Amino acid sequence: MYNATATDTESNAITFSKTSGPPWLSVSAAGSLTGTPPADAPALVTAVIRAADTGTSTRGSSSGFSEQTVQLAVRSSFAGWQRLSFVLPGETAISEATADPDKDGLSNLEEYARRLNPKLPARGAPLEITSLAPFVAQFSARDDDPSLEVLLQASSSTDFSGTAAIPSVVSDPTVGDGFKTWGFSDPAATGQLRRFWRVEFRILP
């Protein structure tokens, strides 16, 4: 929530309203900005807030107003995404992080990370591999949840026993597109006969 403020030199009452902004954003007369952004909302939204003086001026001038443009950072959470994507509590079982209600092989947590609809099957290979020796890859995921972590695990066996976590470098190549990029490099892949990788998602406490 964000609270707009304004002052009047004659202490007249001020009423706030929204001139423009996303439809899900509401502005109360007292200046409180509230709303529930949809799952595909951008990480940064712009709104124009009007502050109107509706009192009577002792100087004989008519009432007036001023407008201010504000930019608001949208912060998402997996719990909020669950409430938007599922009918709770009836669909609690299929809303869990590891569930796959559309049977497309992607868990709800991965659907959330990729800004997908968990009830519509999706395909694709979001892990972009740019080199095999050494192994270099990148993965794009939503940029509006600071608690979301993308990990890459490497192993010499398909059952991923004895996995090694590959360090990541996080960047934001296209600001405002709703995604960040996790870059990975696994120099241990060079010269090995067998090397397997998998992407893992976590929500930090």
Whether residues 96 and 159 fall in one domain: no
What one-character DSSP code corresponds to residue 106?
-
**In a shared domain, residues 134 and 197:** yes
Q: Both 16 and 40 in a single domain? A: yes
Residues 97 and 170 grouped into a single domain: no
pLDDT of residue 4: 81
Question: Do residue 65 and residue 96 come from a single domain?
Answer: no
Backbone phi, psi, residue 51, to 5°: -115, 115
Continuous H helices in the chain:
78-85, 92-95, 108-113
- 31 and 47 together in one domain: yes
Q: Which of 49, 74, 99 is the last residue of a domain?
A: 74
CATH number at residue 173: 2.60.40.10
Question: Which residues form the domain of 55?
Answer: 2-74
Based on the domain organization, do 204 and 156 belong to the same domain? yes
Q: In a structure prediction context, what are the per-residue pLDDT tens digits for the chain, which is 205 residues long?
A: 678 887 777 777 888 899 999 898 899 988 888 887 776 677 678 899 998 876 665 555 555 778 888 888 778 899 989 998 999 999 999 999 999 999 999 999 999 999 999 999 998 778 999 988 889 999 999 998 999 999 999 998 999 988 899 999 999 999 878 899 999 999 887 766 788 999 999 999 8
Co-location of 85 and 141 in the same domain: no
Q: Look up the pTM and report it.
A: 0.73
Quick one: pLDDT at residue 202?
95
Retrieve residue 122's tokens.
């999706």
User: Of 44, 74, 104, which residue constitutes the final position of a domain?
Assistant: 74
Helix (H, G, I), strand (E, B) or coil at 93: helix
Same domain, residue pair 132 and 204 = yes
Q: What are residue 83's phi and psi, to 5 degrees?
A: -65, -30
Same domain, 186 and 115: no
Structurally, the chain folds into a number of domains equal to 3
* Domain termination site, one of 45, 74, 103: 74
* Ordered strands of the 65-73 beta sheet: 14-20, 44-53, 65-73
Within this chain, do residues 134 and 194 fall inside the same structural domain, yes or no? yes
Question: Does residue 70 share a domain with residue 13?
Answer: yes
Please tell me the total number of residues recorded for the chain in this structure.
205
